[in-house]
Structure 1
Amino acid sequence: MKKLFTLALSLFTFSAFSQVSVKETNVNIDGAKNGFEIEIPYADVKACEKELKDLFKSWKGSFSEKKGVMKADDCKDKEMGENTFDVFGTVVENGEKGSKALVAVDLGGAYLSSKDHASQYKVMEQELKTWAIKTATIYVGEIEKQEEKNLDDRKKELDDLEKDQKKKEEEIEDYKKKIEENEKAIEQSKKDQEKKKEEIKQQEGVLQEVITKKEGIK
């Protein structure tokens, strides 16, 4: 998954890296064999191995895997003709470009080649190219899903920030209103205190008169 996120940025750079290629060459799969080297852009080895395994199994042969080498015996593919064939494959890293799948097809005594089996070679070449395009598309599709989720998360975070800001702005307005009300209340309290002081002063005078009258009684 780490490579998924690292590649997410590079997907927007259009280059030869984005092209699937299938070429005939000697491949090292438990020894040198004539076969195919398929470049799958972006996809990592794990993803390619899963898809290659599914491809091999689709030919209804007897599938086995040992130390990273896949094999399917007695495969059937009507586009390849009536006879069965054995297929060998493995996947290796291809640096920043993604991965490479190495595939060899044993027709029964001879490995598939463009020189000796032209029509069958074209069939297998097209099937492998279709498979590689599908594999790369699935892989990039997973990145797309993750990046869509990341975008939705960022949008939600922005929405939360905006809501939090609005809440605080409303609180500030409430505080301002409360401060204004308290300031007015304080001013009124000061006036009421002055009046009350006058009332107290008058009441002290009234009380003193009463005390004086009381002291004057003999």
Structure 2
Amino acid sequence: MKYSIYIAVLLLTGAVRLQGQITESTRSMNMGSQNALILEIPNADDKLVEKWWKQYMKDYDAKTKRVKGSDEELSDDADIPGIGAGNTVDVYSLTERSGNGVRQVVWFDLGGAFLSSQMHGDRYVEGEKFMMRFGLYVTKEMIQIELKEEEKRMKDLESDLKKLQRDNEKLHEDIADYERRIEEAKAGIEQNLLDQKAREKDIESQQNVIEEVKKKLSEL
């Protein structure tokens, strides 16, 4: 039996959609081959999904721990009213890589039997809803990560803009300094020309003095 679920979450001005697929299958686990619900989560990281599963199960008063000698985890005595029908449920799970995504395999131990569509009808539908809610939980967490990454990019862009603005101010200051120095140089050139003319007159006067001295010398 196979069901497709589409979990849409509105974020800011755009819609972000995670498509997950739930299947029912018999899978081998530490208690033999038992019926399981399997959620396929595309473009997800298995370590993060495993972490989020533990957080998700806390909402059902269940602490998740590794099953000794197995890759599975057990969320003992989970309080899931729609599935347990007044009793707690032992929930076994296995998070594994699947292509570019993650496969979340979940067994619901009802005490003497594992949840299945053939045996448990309405309770199985609640099991599907339970898995769908986890798919939504994962979607929200993935969007939170994306949001943080985009906010970091925004901060980097804002930092770059501030640097460019500071550079622009420095360039304007440099231009003002260069313009001031050019005006000072122009004034210096004008003064230099005046000083040259004054020295030319001094040289002319000095030449006359020399000629007078030479004349005195020749008269001796």
Identity of aligned residues (%): 30
Residues 1:82 and 2:78 are matched in the alignment: no
SS of equivalent to 2:35:
strand
> 1: distance between equivalents of 2:89 and 2:211?
127
Matches within 5 A, 1:37-76: 37-61=38-62, 63-66=64-67, 67-76=70-79
User: 1:7-50: CA deviations, max 9, x gaps?
Assistant: xxxxxxx99x8312222222343343211111223321111101
> 2: distance between equivalents of 1:198 and 1:135?
94
Stretches of structure 2 that go unaligned for 5 or more consecutive residues are 1-14
TM-score between the two structures when normalised by the length of structure 2: 0.77
> Any conservation in 1 of the 2:54–2:63 contact (CA below 8 Å)?
no
> Any conservation in 2 of the 1:90–1:103 contact (CA below 8 Å)?
yes
- When the two chains are superposed, the root-mean-square deviation of aligned CA atoms in Å is 2.9
Matches within 5 A, 1:117-132: 117-132=120-135
The offset of 1:214, in angstroms, is 10
Residues 1:183 and 2:186 are matched in the alignment: yes
SS of equivalent to 2:93:
strand
More RCO (CA 8 Å, sep 6+): 1
> 1: distance between equivalents of 2:64 and 2:170?
62
Stretches of structure 1 that go unaligned for 5 or more consecutive residues are 1-13
TM-score between the two structures when normalised by the length of structure 1: 0.78
> 2: distance between equivalents of 1:89 and 1:73?
11
SS of equivalent to 2:117:
coil
Out of 103-112 and 136-145, give the one that drifted further: 136-145
Out of 113-122 and 150-159, give the one that drifted further: 150-159
Matches within 5 A, 1:163-202: 163-202=166-205
The number of equivalent residue pairs is: 202
> Any conservation in 2 of the 1:62–1:72 contact (CA below 8 Å)?
yes
The offset of 1:164, in angstroms, is 0.7
Matches within 5 A, 1:23-42: 23-30=23-30, 31-42=32-43
User: 1:141-193: CA deviations, max 9, x gaps?
Assistant: 11221122112202321331243134224313421341243034123312321
Matches within 5 A, 1:5-16: none
SS of equivalent to 2:24:
strand
> Any conservation in 2 of the 1:33–1:111 contact (CA below 8 Å)?
yes
The structure with the largest strand share of the pair is 2
